[in-house]
Structure 1
Amino acid sequence: MHRFRTPSALLAAVALLGCQSRKEEKPAAPPAPATAPRAEAAPAPPPKPAPPAEAQPELSYLKPTEDGEHCEWMRQPLKGTATRVFRFKAWCDRSTVSWSPDGGQGLVFTWPSGEGEVPQAWRVEVDAKSGQPLDLKSLPGGTSAGNPNEPYVSRVAFDAQGRPVAIVLLASEAKGPITFQGESFPVPKGQGVPGLAMAYRLVDGDWKRIEAKATRFEEDTPSEHGLLDAEATLTPTWVASPPTRLPGAKAAPALAKELDAQEPGAAGAGWWMELPGPGGTLYFRARREGPQLVLSQPLLWARGDQRVSLKDLTPPDAYLGFQLDQGLLLVTSYGGFAAATVWDPKTQQRVVSIPDVYAPALWPVPRTP
């Protein structure tokens, strides 16, 4: 062997070391990028709340108790069971009902009809179904039975701010100005009985006179015709007696002839009236019986060229009253035929009929600000 020849084992070791050295000199590979965190799924949006159920029409009415000693103010869904709002000791057929603008309160008023009786009123919390008497004693006529030549309380209702207001009337035999509580009120010339119409507002427990006007009373109740400016601010009042003011307008002569031809038995005393309503027009007869206005059958509902007879809604001889509201027609029968009947112009069907009730009205929808 040549003395300078490196042994094969040594060469192999050197070669191996060289390879390892070159491997160590090679830069290390960069680390693998970190795995991005897994995005979590966004939570599902909450389900949309169901739209509020549409309010169903309701009926208000006064109903005598079985013993006849009390009257109950009732609230009844047209498709449901009636509940009592308030009970008071008075006659239903001499009582009225009105609501505050927001519908949260009611006023029940009863007028006297003879000696020993006085006007009464109650302020009712509708949701709580409870009420408290209103003190009318400090009002002119607040302790009167409605005697001639004395002031009498004819109406109690809410104004636009929800404050009770009383309308007081005084008929007088004075030949000149009317003197009342030290004040003189000149009476306008004309026909009718001289009189004084006054409005009082309840403020901090006291009745304050806010308006007074001399007038002449004729056959109609002055408060029905708005002699006082204050009356224009009052909420509607529903009365147990027949209306003293005609709703709608007198039908034109040509139309009246057509209606007479359709209802031959209607010709005679009185005249045809028309009252526009939801999707149509109500036609009815009107006449005078002494000082009283009478609204009566025949009843017709016209939609386009079609006229439908509503003779089955009421007895033929009943004195009637009407309310068109919330897409419905309420027909009130008075006196011995006392009843409330609701008719739907859309379906042309009777919805409900309730006998022996007074001062009915469709329960008002609260006024939004």
Structure 2
Amino acid sequence: MIEEKKVTSEKTVLVGVITQHQDEAKSTEYLDELEFLVTTAGGNAVKRFVQKLEKPHPKTFIGTGKLEDVKAYIDSHDIGTVIFDDELSPAQLRNIEKILDTKILDRTTLILDIFAQRAETSYARTQVALAQCQYMLPRLTKLWSHLDKQKGGIGMRGPGETEIETDRRIVRDQIALLKKKLETIDKQMAVQRKNRGKMVRVALVGYTNVGKSTLMNVISKSEVFAEDKLFATLDTTVRKVVIKNIPFLMTDTVGFIRKLPTQLVESFKSTLDEVREADLLLHVVDISHPTFEDHINSVNVILEEIESANKPTLMVFNKIDSYKHDTIDDDDLVTEKTEKHFTLDELKNSWMSKIDDECVFISALNKDNMEDFKEKVFDMVREIHTKRFPYNNYLYSEYDQDGNKI
């Protein structure tokens, strides 16, 4: 009889702060997201530690007293990993490790680790390896002095395993090689984009895990990998789509996230080029998320960074099947009605007036309102198409070239 091995998740502790720029509600929300990241990476967050500070401590992120509380907990509960909800400086990392004497990760390392897991193609793996090496370079002192604590698991995938005992010069050489490799691939991808001709390009953008890949599968009738986890899609997927009688190219891109590591923005430059070169953006939003407006703002910040914020954009509010709102009793005269109390219809009217009706509310999973979605996409693509191909007027008529009604 073969004995089955039980796979146990790596137990982790999360650490966050409440500051003048990040109140308690925001801190809780960020830690919820960090916990989802830990789950995606294959870990299990068993405890949270939060401290109120004017700003993160420059030497230890949180106060040494709170760090001692963390140490007491991890020692008594056999915790192998402590994860901080912000990027730690090399000095903070070293100081914290001296006190806690265990594996320390920050939000950036965790995201890079998930990317290392998710990278399927050579291109994606090269992008992630470059980001990891760039992040590792100033932290080599920490890696050198703690070789005995590197036991694998979350945050230890990718080049960290092979480059951990190298010096700065070798890592710099590795970065140079990876950049050269990416330049070669970037040129190949630029040629591919050029070879697509003058077809209208539509890019799906949005926060991670909002349903972009599911929507891509529905609209293009393809099988793009989709999963209820963060960063399920890393590799850019391009599909030809035809709505009515107009063909166009649709691109599914990597999801964005708050506090996205700058190394990743740089490494995924070519992936983001698909967004830069798109004629139309479909900004997909998970309307069932309680802070979806923050997600919208986070995506808009990154679009500004890559100079793509002013492109024609259709806001696609997805997951209407999961939307819930708080109710107020008729006799409640105290509670102020805010957007969290809006019904779906009230939310629709609110957003339609905000952005001049350039939005649509759908459920890609249940295929609700997909005809309305297709109609809006068709109208926006047609407008771009008519400017690009002014002589193909039959494309925009109700009749085809032979006079048959479409």
Normalising by structure 1, we get a TM-score of: 0.25
Bigger radius of gyration among the two: 1
Structure with the largest fraction of strand: 1
Normalising by structure 2, we get a TM-score of: 0.24
Structure with the largest fraction of helix: 2
